[in-house]
Amino acid sequence: LYYGWLDETRNANAQGKPGALVVTRDNRALTSEAYAEIDHALSRALHAVGSVQGSYAERNIEEHFPIAGTQKRHFAGVNPRVGLRYDVADDAQVFGNISRSFEPPTLAELSAGNVPGFSDLDAQTATTAEIGMRGRWRDIAWD
């Protein structure tokens, strides 16, 4: 569970000093996540791995100057993952995964920066496939 707030005041740059007031905002962000994973041995060396993450986020921005306005957004997503892991040795593994990711926009992305108003953005999503190897041999480790 993450909560953040920022009372934002932006001024024009007047030769390195604060100049005219550009914008003022109150920013609030709440992100909550839950995660579960299972690692099931199919044999001594081969494992099936599955996980799921649920995410819910709220982004609330209240602009006070130069115009008054409010943006309240809610984002929700589910990130599943399935994969296999093969233990090549006690300290080396080969793996492969397919996963889905979801990331809500940040307050900075939604607030439109130095200009009044708001950006209308959706959450970012992606599907990723990966293969790899991790291990250790003497003083050398890799991933």
| pLDDT one-digit tens code per residue, 72-118 | 999 999 999 999 999 999 999 999 999 999 999 999 899 877 788 88
Q: What is the pLDDT of residue 14?
A: 95
Sheet of 140-142: strand order equals 2-14, 17-41, 46-65, 69-89, 92-103, 124-137, 140-142
Tokens of residue 90, six digits: 């006690």
Structure tokens at 17: 């000093």
Three state DSSP letters for 49-112: EEEEEEEEEEEEEEEEECCCEEEEEEEEEEEEEEEEEEEEECCEEEEEEEEEEEECCCHHHHCC
**What is the rounded average pLDDT for all residues in the chain?**
95
pTM: 0.79
